[in-house]
Amino acid sequence: MATDHFFFEHQASCSHTQARAGTFHTPHGPVQTPRFMPVGTLANVKTVTPAQLKDAGAQMILANTYHLHLQPGEELVAAAGGLHKFMAWPGPILTDSGGFQVFSLSKIRTISEEGVTFRSPRDGRVIHMPPEASMRIQNQLGADVIMAFDECPPYPADREAVEAATQRTYRWLKRCIEAHQRSDQALFGIVQGGVHLDLRQAAAEQLVQLDLPGYAIGGVSVGEPPELIEKIVQATTPLLPTDKPRYLMGVGTYREMAQSIAAGVDLFDCVIPTRFARHGAALVQGERWNLKNKQFRQDLTPLDESCSCYTCQNFTRAYLCHLIHAHELLAYTLLSIHNITELIRFTQSIRKAILQNEFAARFQTWLEPSNNSA
């Protein structure tokens, strides 16, 4: 399954952890790792333009197969020249398989060995999605990295159900490999197994045998406490190949990213930056600030004087507070720009520390057990 279009270049390691710095090469450009990737579910990172994303330091972004299948449809995206042209994003793109979204529809879907059948929450029509359909849709969307169709068990779930889902994920992965048609798209497999480390180990060992271009750790951040996420990541990441990118799905807090990087993870995604922005919240040096609060109404200082983003270089806390209280849409754009920049800047600073072999010392605070920070 390895392809010449994609390769991972290892550049530095941390002497006190498993952290590493590298570059993931794709047909649409390199991705310097470790790296946070903004989420653009419907071919759009909410309220932010592609130019603003680039200015924020984004290199690779996400879109979602399930949502784009429902609207506008993969045929239209393909007719437009693929996702890159459709959304005017020149850099690498990753599409999730839609598995997590489908399985979250627990009341309107059924699972069988063949695939998943569900009713569209948009118009009620019945949709059948086997692994082959996810591959067909993602091949038409044209992202650089596509994810295998997997079954994401909920938390909590009994061991028998998690084991069945993990085994089915592997069988579906082999069907995805057979159905995948494009050599210019890298198919990543997903390690499932819930909170059961022996299931995670067995799943990882099976996936590694398939020699995929990259590997993801899925089924975390679905309700389990942070200490279990850390345990899963620490146990699973070392089982994945060192010459392939490692992607932790759906995680984007400072502490979880730092701890996962220490275990050897390269790529992260999360909706936190834009979701927080829509609630009037900013990420500032590890803290979550509610800009609706009274304390900001007459504060004429920048949101974060150390941040080089467009928002911090041009606007005050008082102005952002005003926009939020006035329900002005610009507030969401400005906060999204800052929040995205902040998480990318955080992973960039970790990358620099790894290259200087100073990661463990400089980020010790974030490697300790969790507290109330973001």
Integer distance in angstroms from the first to the last C-alpha of the chain?
38
For residue 188, what is the DSSP state?
E
Where residue 106 falls among pLDDT bands split at 50, 70, 90?
low
Contact between 355 and 11 under an 8 Å Cβ cutoff? The reply is yes
d(CA 242, CA 371): 31
Residue 2 has pLDDT above 60, yes or no: no
**Would you state the pLDDT for residue 332?**
98
Residue located via tokens 């399954």: 1
Residue 242 has pLDDT above 60, yes or no: yes
**Residue of 304 and 121 predicted with greater confidence:** 304
Enumerate the H helices of 180-196 as residue ranges: none
Residue 1 has pLDDT above 50, yes or no: no
Q: How far is CA 315 from the centre of its chain?
A: 29
Per-residue HEC secondary structure of 269-320 comes to EECHHHHHHHCCEEEECCEEEECCCHHHCCCCCECCCCCCCHHHHHCEHHHH
Residues annotated as catalytic (active site), given as ranges? 96, 269
List Cα–Cα distances, 307 to 40, 146, 149, 292, 310, in angstroms.
Answer: 23, 33, 38, 20, 9
Task: Give 200-230 pLDDT, tens digit per residue.
Answer: 999 999 999 999 999 999 999 888 999 999 9
- Average the pLDDT over 321-336 and give the result: 98
Tell me phi and psi for residue 268, to 5 degrees: -140, 155
Where residue 110 falls among pLDDT bands split at 50, 70, 90?
confident
Residue spans per domain, the chain: 7-270, 271-364
**Would you state the pLDDT for residue 370?**
66
**Does 3.20.20.105 match the CATH number of domain 7-270?**
yes
Task: Give 168-210 pLDDT, tens digit per residue.
Answer: 999 999 999 999 999 999 999 999 999 999 999 999 999 999 9
Neighbours of 246 (CB within 10 A): 29
Contact between 205 and 216 under an 8 Å Cβ cutoff? The reply is no
**Would you state the pLDDT for residue 109?**
82
**Residues sharing a CB contact under 8 Å with residue 111, sequence separation 6 or more, in sequence order:** 103, 151
- Please name which of 255, 320, 311, 253 lies closest in space to residue 293, comparing C-alpha atoms: 320
d(CA 190, CA 147): 8
What's the pTM value of the predicted model, to 2 decimals? Answer: 0.96
- Average the pLDDT over 345-374 and give the result: 90
Count of all residues that appear for the chain in the document = 374
- Please name which of 274, 268, 279 lies closest in space to residue 350, comparing C-alpha atoms: 268
- Please name which of 171, 151, 173 lies closest in space to residue 162, comparing C-alpha atoms: 151
Average pLDDT over the chain, rounded to an integer: 95
